[in-house]
């Protein structure tokens, strides 16, 4: 009986210590931003050099740019974070130099926790100038010049329009890129002007966030998470 009591007491003590550590961590890891009107940063993200590693999850480090913009670095470079939906585990990003198309065409997500929600294949063409509006085509402005226009096409109809548009077009390559929604019907062309939308699977905080709670690391350098501060019903 004495031995059982000691075991139970020790277990309760360890649980209490864990709860205290989690509470202390959450107080230390309060919501923060790079600047006014920037996305709120909280677990699994953390701002480097401002919050401890225990405030975030591996692969979710955020930095603040020279203009205090919110920056996330992926294997293929840095992107400006436009918004984060913690409940849906989605993030919207764009290019610092306002040419997201160029970044998407060379996008590399390997080794990162992020991936696209939906994907679509596009055929890239470099064309001499012609009245593309007549065919409902949109060139990729930041990849085009005075003497040429670059198009990303996803349908044979669009290819036919180019070939019969009194223009000289050269096929560049076929690319498979993330898009913001599933394209149940092929579109004529795409200019990649919208934000890049990605998601993540780990850590799984959807249920916690939807209940109004907050995710946190169970302990420093741990991949385990705990849900706390759930409002009482």
Q: What is the pTM of this model?
A: 0.80
Q: Are 93 and 79 in contact (CB under 8 A)?
A: yes
DSSP 94-120: E-TTS-HHHHHHT---TTSSEEESEEE
pLDDT exceeds cutoff 70 at 179: yes
**Token pair of 44, please?**
């699994």
| Beta strands across the sheet bearing 90-94 | 46-47, 61-64, 70-74, 77-85, 90-94, 196-200, 114-116
Q: 187: closest CA among 123, 100, 98?
A: 123
pLDDT in tens, 52-104: 888 999 999 999 999 999 999 999 999 999 999 999 999 999 999 999 999 98
Q: Are 65 and 71 in contact (CB under 8 A)?
A: yes
pLDDT exceeds cutoff 70 at 205: yes
pLDDT in tens, 106-153: 899 999 999 998 888 888 999 887 777 777 788 999 999 988 999 998
Name the β-bridge partners of 159. Answer: none
Q: Are 198 and 90 in contact (CB under 8 A)?
A: yes
Q: Are 153 and 188 in contact (CB under 8 A)?
A: yes
CA atoms within 13 A on the CB side of 77: 14
pLDDT exceeds cutoff 90 at 30: no
pLDDT of residue 23: 40
Largest CA distance in the chain: 93
**Token pair of 70, please?**
């919110």
**Token pair of 205, please?**
């905080």
């Amino acid at each position: 009986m004495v031995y059982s009591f000691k075991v139970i007491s020790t277990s309760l003590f360890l649980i209490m210590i864990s709860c205290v550590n989690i509470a202390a961590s959450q107080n230390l890891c309060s919501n923060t931003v790079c600047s006014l009107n920037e996305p709120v940063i909280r677990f699994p993200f953390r701002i480097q050099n401002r919050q401890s590693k225990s405030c975030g999850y591996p692969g979710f480090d955020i930095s603040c740019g020279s203009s205090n913009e919110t920056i996330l670095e992926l294997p293929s470079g840095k992107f400006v974070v436009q918004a984060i939906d913690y409940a849906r585990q989605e993030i919207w990003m764009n290019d610092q130099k306002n040419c997201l198309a160029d970044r998407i065409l060379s996008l590399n997500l390997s080794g990162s926790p992020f991936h696209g929600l939906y994907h679509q294949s596009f055929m890239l063409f470099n064309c001499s100038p012609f009245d593309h509006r007549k065919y409902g085509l949109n060139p990729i402005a930041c990849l085009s010049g005075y003497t040429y226009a670059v198009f990303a096409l996803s349908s044979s109809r669009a290819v036919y329009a180019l070939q019969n548009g009194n223009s000289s077009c050269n096929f560049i390559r076929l690319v498979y890129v993330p898009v913001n929604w599933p394209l149940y019907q092929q579109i004529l062309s795409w200019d990649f002007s919208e934000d890049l939308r990605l998601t993540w699977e780990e850590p799984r905080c959807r249920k916690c966030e939807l209940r109004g709670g907050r995710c946190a690391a169970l302990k420093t350098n741990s991949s385990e998470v705990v849900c706390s501060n759930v409002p009482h019903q």
